Amino acid sequence: MSGMATQIEAKLERVFAPQSLIVRDVSASHAGHAGARPGGNTHFEVEITTAAFDGLSRIAMHRAVMAELGDEFAGSLHALNIKAKGVG
């Protein structure tokens, strides 16, 4: 797992205490696209299931994840594909 993936995972674990969390660095598949950089750490996928999302709309879940990763977006993170759901 890349350094950025570990950072994303740790932050989401701490904030949302998810029942399941998968973070994938998919930067290699975006080589040559906007925001891609040599060395990767730019494009990620997150699958997260947490009770913290129970009752929230899909947009609210995505906004919550994005809000927590503001520092990463200010750095090398360019794109994030989010699959989020509550447990209830």
Tokens of 81: 């594909």
Query: With respect to CATH, is domain 3-85 assigned 2.60.120.380?
Result: no
Q: What is the pLDDT of residues 26-75, one digit of tens each?
A: 886 655 565 555 555 688 999 999 999 999 999 999 999 999 999 998 88
pTM, 2 dp: 0.85
Contacts of 3 (CB under 8 A, 6+ apart): 41
> What pLDDT score does 82 carry?
98
> How high is the pLDDT of residue 42?
82
Domain ranges of the chain: 3-85
Residue 84: what are its φ and ψ, rounded to 5°? -120, 145
Question: Is the pLDDT score of 6 beyond 70?
Answer: yes
Instruction: State the pLDDT at residue 87.
Output: 96
Radius of gyration of the chain (CA): 13
